[in-house]
Structure 1
């Protein structure tokens, strides 16, 4: 299942890749996204939402081995749950920014004036 890819054009051969390594990398990305959400920094969360590249498995992998199918299915469910949570957090953050912007730039409220009639 492990196979070295072709030369990368710079005299280096990429490290051997197999499905277990690929699943480890994908799990690492999901965990990184969860950690980003836990920190609660809106800019970092939004950056995850702007990632638009679809994942394409390396062409040298071949089909997913039967013994890794359950792990891959659990990982997919985890990815989908994290993606849904990211969308929710991004949406909430945008709504909060919209409300803050309306409050900051809205017309000022009239200020109460008290006039001393005794003058």
Structure 2
């Protein structure tokens, strides 16, 4: 029984770790070469019970990675928004202003 309980927690932690690895890959340059599905919210399996004490360091490490990945994602989103705002000003001069169109009537 204790082994089944421990194995259930190992499987749950494996799932959490896979989710954070997906986010870390999206943040890295790997996201440019592959499409990753949206992460689904994690739900602990039914009847999992309390975390075995010997797995607490792994769970804490995964939590730390999740928090770091969330921070990196937020910084990447902020940088992307700033870059988009800058690019919109460079392309048209001011945000929302129409781009001039020139027609070559010589032809």
TM-score by length of 1: 0.62
Structure 2 residue matching 1:62: 3-state secondary structure? coil
> Is it true that 1:70 corresponds to 2:57 in the alignment?
yes
Which is bigger in relative contact order (C-alpha 8 A, separation at least 6)?
A: 2
Unaligned 5+ segments in structure 2 are: 100-107
TM-score by length of 2: 0.68
Deviation, structure 1 residue 31: 1.3
Structure 2 residue matching 1:103: 3-state secondary structure? helix
Unaligned 5+ segments in structure 1 are: 4-16, 109-119
For residues 1-119 of structure 1, what are the structure 2 equivalents within 5 Å? Answer: 2=4, 18-39=8-29, 41=32, 54-106=41-93
Q: Number of matched residues? A: 89
More helix per residue: 1 or 2?
A: 2
Query: After the TM superposition, which segments of 4 or more aligned residues of structure 1 sit over 3 Å from their partners?
Result: none
The CA RMSD over aligned residues, in Å, is 2.7
